[in-house]
Structure 1
């Protein structure tokens, strides 16, 4: 999840068609899908200063980080955190920026699909997993060292911050049960 809300939509035919499809999906009508869950709360409205601070932190964290790497780590962290809202957002943003469906699909099994990614992207994905999961209570030295081989120190600092921020957004979205499926690429901009 990222940046400030623009809830008015784009007004494009594509956005209107998506909205109509999602309205039918929400009702669980003719398409036979289960109905959407209800969002628990709107964090941006109830804690606006927290939300604004996250938006600023997000913008600061991604400075100097390659946009492709950034979307890959956001998607991978969101997969690990089971954040459907952020997966919806970041896969759509990645696709709109020219990322391939194949690389996005293979991201959940990147260790067996290394040939889809550059060594720098692999180092970033591995770092994102280590920061996101923290099962050993720390980021292993070898994971950090591999990332440090591919990123200069300032870029690495921003990458670590960006991974930390997407984990925060994931936790907000999962806790408040943000509903996936309604995001359009570029909807949230700062």
Structure 2
């Protein structure tokens, strides 16, 4: 941290310089395994629902790189700007989403923010009402994978703004 003349501090890292670590180049086998895991986790899931989940987890994890990517992919998959804008306040904007989407969003929050150390039974039960077992297993996998991607993005400070929709499909 650098102390400024007005006694405020700023990080020494400047995002315009690029990511702090190019982990995909330095750990290519891990990156390739993550891509394969991501492809496997998305199988059988509705692309719009999947992007809502990825955007919501990325919001919670403050991953600007993944927010940029998955917002663009969500729009390309047919998601509306209005629903994306309201996603961070979904509890007050429930009318924009189906019951199934709400169950997926709530499960995403529970899996992403493990403050109590577990996913509450009522959250899991609600999701189980809206998803067949195999689809629920895929959804849990997709939530887990986006959380892993977010950790790479936030830790390595990947820089948003350069992704084009569908680039990583």
TM-score, normalisation: structure 1: 0.80
Task: Map 1:27-42 onto structure 2 (within 5 A).
Answer: 36-42=16-22
Three-state SS of the structure 1 residue aligned to 2:123 is helix
Mapped pair 1:181 → 2:161: yes
What displacement does 1:37 show?
Answer: 4.8
1:144 to 80, 99, 124: 124
What displacement does 1:101 show?
Answer: 0.3
CA distance in 2 between counterparts of 1:71 and 1:188 reads 13
What displacement does 1:163 show?
Answer: 0.1
CA distance in 2 between counterparts of 1:171 and 1:137 reads 18
CA distance in 2 between counterparts of 1:115 and 1:86 reads 25
CA distance in 2 between counterparts of 1:99 and 1:121 reads 12
Three-state SS of the structure 2 residue aligned to 1:50 is helix
Three-state SS of the structure 2 residue aligned to 1:111 is coil
Match of 2:36 in 1: 56
> What are structure 2's unaligned runs of at least 5 residues?
1-13
What displacement does 1:35 show?
Answer: 7.0
Residues 128-147 of structure 1 deviation map (CA, whole Å, 9 limit, x = unaligned): 00000000100000000000
What displacement does 1:38 show?
Answer: 2.8
Match of 2:63 in 1: 83
Question: Where in structure 1 do 4 or more consecutive aligned residues deviate above 2 Å?
Answer: 34-38
Residues 62-91 of structure 1 deviation map (CA, whole Å, 9 limit, x = unaligned): 111111110000000000000000000000
Residues 114-166 of structure 1 deviation map (CA, whole Å, 9 limit, x = unaligned): 00000000000000000000001000000000000000000000000000000
Residues 31-71 of structure 1 deviation map (CA, whole Å, 9 limit, x = unaligned): xxx97253111111100000000001001111111111100
1:159 to 123, 136, 139: 139
Contact 2:15 2:159 (C-alpha < 8 Å) held by counterparts: no
Aligned residue pair count: 156
> What are structure 1's unaligned runs of at least 5 residues?
1-33
